Chain A
């Protein structure tokens, strides 16, 4: 009964808002609808409508997937200071980080779904009913960790919010073990996603022990970038009291992570190019082009430029502390890592093919539209979750005491 009313209160909060709120929801819904339309065409005609081929068999969808898993993992950067170090300022906003993680995982899962040739058979991946190739297949591992992470990030905030809604303080002893699990789990989702790629001995670009650390470093740069922007937006339009100390903390984490991430890129470039072997072919293709083909060069050089400008802004303290410049840096990091980890990693892994063929890939308009729809879907999930959480956090939604109920 209690839980039902809690849920209803949440829904009511999601459905109440000013004109700007509804315009925002409407815009997102329109993009989702466009994505659905594009996806319907893909279902009907087959995946031939994408730019993918036998040569480059994963493209834009999986690129976005890999990036979004990183965003989801980065929520841990709020969870650790809030629950482990009991920083009050972070504790106030940690729930919004978790909402962001939920939205990112949902979007990541959607990206995998649209990348599948026979989505109606996806139940084959379920344990018992289907045949789940666990623990052998890294893709099966990814399903396990992503579903688990989704549940953790729904359960933990739900418990905390429910307590607040009832006007109580959440009991630390009850949720603390879950927090510890969630922290390790966050790292695991991105590590497993890196293993998905590095497990392939036949793809030299990915077959590197550095891939998982690189994934984590870049996630801890791009994740805070998005969290900062989201928190600032919530402060501006949602009336959420975000302390500047939280923003500063995230900005520092982002700075260090970006520095490490760029260092890792340099390490790989050195190893591949100082004594260039055939193993460096994908790298050469990516950065300089190979045998007259080089469609990815503009992508990767843009990514590198964005990241370098961002790291300069972030590393100079007065610049980082200027709000406008910080937001600009966040945008640069977000875009830069999105390219580097997506088009700059997934696609060149397929070029050249294991038989040495160079076959280029570029996403089609349909892939762009489907992807935009999924991103909008993620934004929608975040908006709705944040709206409900906001209502409870600010005390607008509260369980009414029993006496109160009788009186009304």
Chain B
């Protein structure tokens, strides 16, 4: 519990309902909670009735009180223990002050090894059966930027394939994100540090945001995500890598559980060629600022006006004198 919301959420809509909700939850908790806990672990999707009701009636993240967030975090930890036998610690990490995260990627260094993809899957507890991946590395024939010529399912053991270059794509954390505009329930939004997050307990799974995203960066849990207990990453962030339920959308969040603690994202650390540069765009001394100021950078589909905070650059001068 690191975030300290104001004692009461600023949004005062739905007060009457909120009171009802809290009373009801308190009622479920006291009304023989122990009995239900003992018997009902099998039902309610492996949760206690109380926990199931808790997440069902949970408010939007931005409207929850300190206590409610605390209860939600404990619920997540309890469920992790019950399901995976892991002692996880779930935090609610706030955005860092004076920070807006940005990413840059050197396409002349990327060789398509996909180590970033694997590191991301493990770090963020992605469903293994569903083979969900936040990062997609495209193998492109030299001399084209046409995405329709890209190979999505190449063999990472054969790389680099002569005559090809590699283009990793993940959520661009757009500054003007069409996915956020599209969501009918405000279940997804842009945080002050520029990371576009999803409240997994608020998303209704309509998938309109996936339709709106021009980078194919959002992914849906078509079934219950399966994570091997041995590979479970127990360092969780509420709006980040905590286990997600089925039927909701999720996406890359620049490893908020790391970035907001001053660490590098898993994909950056895993890259064997050092193609990835991540940092604070507001810090003039950061490496990413150096790249943006000294390299020829470009962004994908810039013409759509989404203002990605993800840049590509190469070591070669574009215009040789």
Contact at A133–B184, with CB atoms within 8 Å?
yes
Contact at A356–B304, with CB atoms within 8 Å?
no
Kindly provide the distance from the CB of A33 to the nearest chain B CB, expressed in whole angstroms. Answer: 24
Select A137's contact among B182, B218, B248, beta carbons within 8 Å.
Answer: B182
Interface presence of B305 (CB below 8 A): yes
Q: Which of B91-99, B220-228, B276-284 contacts A (4 or more CB under 8 A)?
A: B220-228
CB within 8 Å for A202 and B178 given contacts A117-B246, A356-B150 = yes
CB within 8 Å for A355 and B150 given contacts A125-B185, A132-B185 = yes
Select B221's contact among A117, A203, A350, beta carbons within 8 Å.
Answer: A117
Interface presence of B261 (CB below 8 A): no
Interface presence of B60 (CB below 8 A): yes
Contact at A117–B13, with CB atoms within 8 Å?
no
Q: What is the interface size of chain B, counting residues whose CB is below 8 A from a CB of the partner? A: 53
Contact at A117–B185, with CB atoms within 8 Å?
no
Residues on B with C-beta less than 8 A from A138 are 182, 208
Contact at B219–A54, with CB atoms within 8 Å?
yes
Task: Render A113-146 as a binary contact track against B, CB cut-off 8 A, 1 for contact.
Answer: 0011111111011001111110011111001000
Select B185's contact among A128, A133, A201, beta carbons within 8 Å.
Answer: A133
Select A124's contact among B181, B182, B187, beta carbons within 8 Å.
Answer: B187
Contact at B178–A200, with CB atoms within 8 Å?
yes
B20 to A, closest residue via Cβ: A129
Kindly provide the distance from the CB of A248 to the nearest chain B CB, expressed in whole angstroms. Answer: 41
Interface presence of B206 (CB below 8 A): yes
Interface presence of A46 (CB below 8 A): yes
A133 CA to B177 CA, complexed, in Å: 14
Select A122's contact among B183, B204, B223, B224, beta carbons within 8 Å.
Answer: B204
Residues on A with C-beta less than 8 A from B301 are 202, 354
Q: Which of B194-229 contact A (CB under 8 A)?
A: 202-208, 210-216, 218-224
B205 to A, closest residue via Cβ: A117
Contact at A117–B136, with CB atoms within 8 Å?
no
Contact at A46–B148, with CB atoms within 8 Å?
no
Task: Render B155-175 as a binary contact track against A, CB cut-off 8 A, 1 for contact.
Answer: 000000000000001000000
Contact at B203–A118, with CB atoms within 8 Å?
yes
Interface presence of A352 (CB below 8 A): yes
A206 to B, closest residue via Cβ: B211
Residues on B with C-beta less than 8 A from A129 are 14, 17
Contact at A58–B181, with CB atoms within 8 Å?
no
Kindly provide the distance from the CB of B200 to the nearest chain A CB, expressed in whole angstroms. Answer: 10
Interface presence of A353 (CB below 8 A): yes
CB within 8 Å for A116 and B211 given contacts A138-B182, A278-B148, A356-B149 = no
Interface presence of B56 (CB below 8 A): yes
Interface presence of A47 (CB below 8 A): yes
Q: Which of A72-94 contact B (CB under 8 A)?
A: none
Interface presence of B146 (CB below 8 A): yes
Residues on B with C-beta less than 8 A from A202 are 178, 212-215, 301, 304
Interface presence of B83 (CB below 8 A): no
B304 to A, closest residue via Cβ: A201
Residues on A with C-beta less than 8 A from B224 are 46
Kindly provide the distance from the CB of B320 to the nearest chain A CB, expressed in whole angstroms. Answer: 28
A355 CA to B301 CA, complexed, in Å: 11
Kindly provide the distance from the CB of A219 to the nearest chain B CB, expressed in whole angstroms. Answer: 21
Task: Render A137-178 as a binary contact track against B, CB cut-off 8 A, 1 for contact.
Answer: 111100100000000000000000000000000000000000
Select B152's contact among A120, A201, A350, A357, beta carbons within 8 Å.
Answer: A357
Interface presence of B272 (CB below 8 A): no
B245 to A, closest residue via Cβ: A118
A22 CA to B202 CA, complexed, in Å: 43
Contact at A137–B148, with CB atoms within 8 Å?
no
Contact at A143–B213, with CB atoms within 8 Å?
no
Contact at B204–A47, with CB atoms within 8 Å?
no
Contact at A281–B148, with CB atoms within 8 Å?
yes
Select A118's contact among B63, B148, B247, B304, beta carbons within 8 Å.
Answer: B247
Interface presence of A53 (CB below 8 A): yes
Interface presence of A57 (CB below 8 A): yes
CB within 8 Å for A201 and B214 given contacts A54-B219, A125-B184, A125-B185 = yes
Contact at A48–B222, with CB atoms within 8 Å?
yes
Contact at B186–A133, with CB atoms within 8 Å?
yes
Residues on B with C-beta less than 8 A from A201 are 178, 214, 304-305
Kindly provide the distance from the CB of A11 to the nearest chain B CB, expressed in whole angstroms. Answer: 32
Contact at B206–A115, with CB atoms within 8 Å?
yes
Contact at B204–A116, with CB atoms within 8 Å?
yes
Interface presence of B138 (CB below 8 A): yes
Interface presence of B34 (CB below 8 A): no
Contact at B150–A137, with CB atoms within 8 Å?
no
Contact at B223–A54, with CB atoms within 8 Å?
no
Contact at A139–B208, with CB atoms within 8 Å?
yes
CB within 8 Å for A355 and B222 given contacts A57-B211, A125-B185, A131-B186 = no
- Interface, chain B (partner A; CB < 8 A): 13-14, 17, 56, 60, 63, 132, 136, 138, 146-150, 152, 169, 178, 181-187, 202-208, 210-216, 218-224, 245-249, 301, 304-305
Of the A-B pairs whose beta carbons lie under 8 Å apart in the complex, a sample of 30, sorted by A's number, is A45-B223, A47-B205, A47-B220, A48-B222, A48-B223, A54-B216, A55-B216, A58-B211, A116-B204, A117-B246, A117-B248, A117-B249, A118-B203, A118-B248, A119-B204, A120-B56, A124-B60, A128-B17, A130-B14, A132-B184, A133-B186, A136-B181, A137-B181, A139-B184, A200-B182, A278-B148, A354-B215, A355-B152, A355-B215, A356-B146
Instruction: Add 5 more A-B contacts to A117-B207, A121-B203 (CB < 8 A).
Output: A117-B205, A117-B220, A129-B14, A139-B206, A355-B138
